[in-house]
């Protein structure tokens, strides 16, 4: 990852006579005069500090956003009905898009929906395959039926943003948001939980009672079931448990302590 940006930085500032580089190690092996110029004139140390700063990357996350009205913020989470509720709060109600790190968390009340992190992980893998296979679910199912591809799926820890653990995605903000667990409620009950939360903040909304139109198709649900069965029949590696243990603990505590509104 960092090598791409280091090379990109270097290629933008380099003189045509300078050697090519691909990695930070290559940079360190450059003639001293070139390294000195990059460090003192081209401000390479600043770029390197950015690449090494987790907060810098969190600020760059495309989905690390919310939608605000007055002092209330809806926080969407990929695969947690985010398309439906982003459309509702942003497009229908006109709530303003905000970056979460720019909020004054002593003055706002944020809420969002969370599902079981392992279920979300499977849904995230389905989403990545759906995009990669251009919605050809028959071909995805054929691939899943082959032993080699099935073994590959069973060894996956994380793919794209759809499978990032909650704790990694939100960091310290995770505990500042009022989360509504999805599993205990059907679609209409979830809408009622959101409505009641907003009413307590003196915001009255009327969420349409119709079924969410962007719910998974039958073919997509079949892909989900096949992938879920692969994981249920394969003992997970310790690395997977290590990566998601905090999420599992957080979500289980949410289920145990959530008070229905």
Distance CA 177, CA 150 (A): 37
Tokens of 62: 């495309």
Going across the sheet that includes 177-181, the strands are 96-99, 65-69, 72-74, 109-114, 177-181
Identify the pLDDT of residue 2.
Answer: 67
Average pLDDT over residues 54-73: 83
Residue 192 lies in a domain: yes
Paired sense of beta strands 109-114 and 72-74, if any? parallel
- The DSSP H or E segment spanning 96 is strand 96-99
Residue 59 lies in a domain: no
Residue 57 lies in a domain: no
Mean pLDDT: which of 54-58, 135-139, 168-172 is highest? 135-139
Whether residue 27 is found in the same domain as residue 69 = no
Output the average pLDDT for the chain: 91
Domain range for 16: 2-52
Whether residue 22 is found in the same domain as residue 110 = no
Identify the pLDDT of residue 74.
Answer: 98
pTM (whole model) above 0.75? yes
Task: Report the domain count for the chain.
Answer: 2
Average pLDDT over residues 223-244: 90
Residue 231 lies in a domain: yes
Residue 58 lies in a domain: no
- Under DSSP, the state recorded for 248 is H
Q: Summarize pLDDT for 81-100 with one digit per residue, the tens.
A: 999 999 999 999 999 999 99
Neighbouring CB atoms inside 10 A of 258's CB total: 15
Whether residue 47 is found in the same domain as residue 68 = no
Q: Summarize pLDDT for 167-181 with one digit per residue, the tens.
A: 988 988 999 999 999
Whether residue 80 is found in the same domain as residue 39 = no
Contact indicator for 214, 80 with CB cutoff of 8 Å: no
Whether residue 88 is found in the same domain as residue 163 = yes
Distance CA 224, CA 144 (A): 11
pLDDT above 60 (res 1)? no
Whether residue 105 is found in the same domain as residue 125 = yes
Residue 204 lies in a domain: yes
Q: Phi-psi category of 135—alpha, beta or left, where left has phi over 0 and alpha has psi -120 to 50?
A: left
Average pLDDT over residues 115-141: 94
Which residue pairs, CB below 8 angstroms and at least 24 apart, start in 249-258? 250/117, 250/166, 250/167, 250/174, 251/114, 251/116, 251/117, 251/166, 251/181, 254/114, 254/179, 254/181, 255/181, 255/183, 255/184, 258/180, 258/181, 258/184
Whether residue 10 is found in the same domain as residue 104 = no
Whether residue 70 is found in the same domain as residue 47 = no
Whether residue 104 is found in the same domain as residue 145 = yes
Distance CA 171, CA 16 (A): 42
Whether residue 175 is found in the same domain as residue 83 = yes
Distance CA 177, CA 166 (A): 12
Residue 39 lies in a domain: yes
Contact indicator for 233, 131 with CB cutoff of 8 Å: no
pLDDT above 80 (res 212)? no
Residue 71 lies in a domain: yes
pLDDT above 60 (res 213)? no
Whether residue 87 is found in the same domain as residue 134 = yes
- The confidence band for 214, taking pLDDT boundaries of 50, 70 and 90, is low
Whether residue 241 is found in the same domain as residue 165 = yes
Identify the pLDDT of residue 216.
Answer: 64
Identify the pLDDT of residue 110.
Answer: 97
């Amino acid at each position: 990852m960092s090598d791409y940006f280091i090379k990109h930085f270097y290629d933008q500032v380099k003189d045509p006579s300078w050697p090519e580089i691909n990695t930070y190690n290559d940079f360190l092996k450059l003639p001293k005069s070139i390294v000195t110029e990059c460090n003192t004139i081209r401000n390479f140390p600043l770029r390197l500090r950015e690449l090494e700063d987790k907060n810098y990357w969190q600020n760059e996350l495309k989905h690390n956003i919310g939608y605000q009205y007055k002092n209330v913020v809806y926080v969407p989470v990929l695969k947690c009905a985010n398309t439906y509720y982003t459309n509702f709060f942003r497009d229908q109600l006109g709530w303003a898009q905000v970056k979460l790190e720019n909020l004054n968390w002593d003055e706002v009340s944020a809420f969002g929906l969370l599902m079981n992190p392992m279920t979300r992980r499977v849904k995230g893998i389905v989403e990545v395959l759906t995009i990669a296979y251009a919605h050809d679910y028959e071909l995805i199912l054929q691939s899943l039926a082959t032993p080699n591809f099935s073994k590959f799926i069973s060894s996956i820890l994380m793919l794209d943003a759809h499978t990032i653990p909650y704790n990694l995605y939100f960091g310290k903000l995770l505990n500042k948001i009022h989360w509504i667990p999805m599993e205990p409620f059907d679609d209409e009950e979830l809408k009622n939980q959101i409505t009641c939360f907003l009413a307590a903040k003196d915001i009255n909304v009327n969420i349409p009672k119709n079924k969410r139109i962007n719910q998974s198709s039958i073919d997509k649900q079949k892909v989900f079931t096949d992938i879920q069965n692969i994981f249920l029949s394969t003992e997970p590696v310790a690395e997977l448990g290590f990566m998601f243990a905090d999420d599992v603990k957080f979500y289980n505590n949410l289920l145990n302590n959530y008070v229905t509104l």
